Structure 1
Amino acid sequence: MLTGGITRRTTAEQALADGVALIEMGTALAVTPDLPARWRDGREADRYLRPVWLDKALASAAGMAQVRHQLRRLARGTHPTPGTHPAYALLTEQLRQRRALRRYRTWLPTTQGTAIADRPA
């Protein structure tokens, strides 16, 4: 299986010809959901995520936040916005995770008493 950075049809075809059994294209499809149809019509992707030029750990977090941002837009039925600034995507992802953690911390004590009481002796 090959993952990471596959955005051109020629690259995917070459990898398959070299014996790769499966190609994963999550980021490419998050930005260009109609990529398989484009390839079938002889066209390539015309949208790419904005590059991240930070230290490696921060760049990785911002890159993943960009992908999640695009996937959430697709889930809501809106078009991808590949020009979204990585810092914006990272900040909104951090805020979303903070809210989710707050909800989890509020919910958790309500389940602990019943979970222990319901366990068989």
Structure 2
Amino acid sequence: MNISPFEMWREDVEPVLQSKAEEFQMFGYTSADQERVWNCTMEKLKKREESHRIHVLVNSILTLSLSDFMNQITVASYKESAKYYSTEANLDDLLGEIETHTSTKRHLT
């Protein structure tokens, strides 16, 4: 299991995570919670090669923008649905549901 060097500070930065989650919730994003903010921050930090210091982690959490947060959630959602519909059986089920839904909604006037 690949553990980030920042994991050891997870408990120390809980107040910062809570603050950022509350900030996003004030903007109406009720699904924002500490876990999602943490995951988004870890994804953001994976892309950069910076020193592994606690102030870098805190700065990344505090400067996390709402657009970055929503983009990461959207991409994660697409990846999750792609995993689910990657099997032919699940894709056939989805196509069948779509076909059934569209055929029952046709009205002749």
TM-score, normalization by structure 2: 0.41
Higher helix share goes to which structure? 2
TM-score, normalization by structure 1: 0.38
